[in-house]
Structure 1
Amino acid sequence: MHSCPEEATLTDFLAGLLSEEHRTSVLAHLEGCTDCRWVLAAGNDTQVLAGAPKASAQTPSQLLLPGDKLSRYVVRERLGSGAMGVVYAADDPELGRRVALKMLRPEGRQREELRQRLLREAQALARLDHPNVVTLYDVGTHADGVFLAMELVEGTTLAEWMREPHPWKEVLRVFREAGKGLAAAHAAGLVHRDFKPANTLLGKEGRVFVTDFGIAGPLQQDEGAPLQDPDKAPVASMKHLTRTGQLLGTPAYMAPELLEGQHADAHSDEFSFCVALHEALFGVRPFQGATLQELAQAARQGRISPPKREVKVPARVRRAVLRGLSANPEERFPSMESLLAALAPRPIRWLARMTATAVVAGVLGTLAAYGLTQREGGHCEQE
Structure 2
Amino acid sequence: MFFASDNSGPVHPQVLAALGAANDGYAMGYGDDPLTKQVQRRIREIFEAPEAAVYLVATGTAANALALATLCQPFETVFCSPVAHIHEDECNAPEFFTGGAKLTLVPGDDKMTPKALAATIARENTRGVHGPQRGPVSITQVTERGAVYTLDELRALTAVARDHELPCHLDGARFANALVRLSCSAADMSWRAGVDALSFGGTKNGLLGVEAVIFFDPDKAWEFELRRKRGGHLFSKGRYLAAQMAAYLADDLWLSSARSANAACARLAEGLRNAGAEFVHPPDANMIFAALPRAAHRRLHEAGAVYHLWDGTLDGADPDELLTARLVCDWSISNAQIDRFLAVLHG
The structure having more radius of gyration, on CA atoms, is 1
Q: TM-score if structure 1 supplies the norm length?
A: 0.28
Which structure has more relative contact order (CA 8 Å, sep 6+)? It is 2
Q: TM-score if structure 2 supplies the norm length?
A: 0.30
